[in-house]
Chain A
Amino acid sequence: GENVEQHPSTLSVQEGDSAVIKCTYSDSASNYFPWYKQELGKGPQLIIDIRSNVGEKKDQRIAVTLNKTAKHFSLHITETQPEDSAVYFCAASPYGQNFVFGPGTRLSVLP
């Protein structure tokens, strides 16, 4: 089955700096890669996703890149703000089913 690894487990950045979180997956059948932001005591919120037919997607300060050959994908947050502080989870899924989540990255944006 699918196995998703995520690094780093914790990340602290200064406000305004960029943050990068990386994930690797094992199942070449996975073709959908969402990223979720989870704030304390709340459910995960989808922030961006990418499908296997593209290599990069950007939405304002957030971007995701995908390397299918190497089976890794990354989340990039630019101009970080304190409200970006949360736990971020990557996931891999074949056709939107059977999501497998990474262990999460706790991002702290220091003012």
Chain B
Amino acid sequence: GAVVSQHPSWVICKSGTSVKIECRSLDFQATTMFWYRQFPKQSLMLMATSNEGSKATYEQGVEKDKFLINHASLTLSTLTVTSAHPEDSSFYICSATSGSLTEAFFGQGTRLTVV
């Protein structure tokens, strides 16, 4: 299947700082990328959907000014957690799909710990 690479796999940051997570599709052009958040022992909760070259669509309850999403190319989307707080600590996962695929392929996830 297609490969989606997410970086970093884990990060620890101090409260008040910002953290950027990258999601890359390595062997296909991802017209749409999804960002999820997953708390321990829970399911994946969709945060936002981003289409290349346009603004992301955020799910209800997700602060767009806090979770900045950029999808500037067909192979890269970034999620920036701004002014991070301990409650933002979570497992963040991206997935990508394209017009020629209906499957969504997931990155390996990023564990964010805010101290």
Contact = CB atoms under 8 A, between A and B. Distances in A.
Interface of A: 32, 34, 36, 41-46, 49, 51, 89, 93, 95-104, 106
B102 A42 contact: no
A42 B108 contact: yes
Nearest to A44: B106
Give the interface size bracket for B toward A.
20 to 34
A89 B43 contact: yes
A98 B34 CA distance: 9
A44 B93 contact: yes
B44 to A, nearest CB: 5
Interface of B: 1, 4, 6, 32, 34, 41-44, 46, 49, 93, 95, 97, 101-109, 111
Given A95-B102, A99-B46, A46 B97 contact: no
B60 to A, nearest CB: 10
B97 A96 contact: yes
* Residue in A44, A102, A103 with the greatest tally of chain B CB atoms within 10 Å: A44
Contacts of B46: 98-100
A51 B108 CA distance: 25
B43 A46 contact: no
A8 B78 CA distance: 35
A46 B111 contact: no
14 contacts: A34-B103, A36-B106, A42-B108, A42-B109, A43-B93, A46-B1, A46-B103, A46-B106, A95-B102, A96-B101, A97-B32, A98-B49, A101-B44, A104-B43
A106 B42 CA distance: 10
B43 A96 contact: no
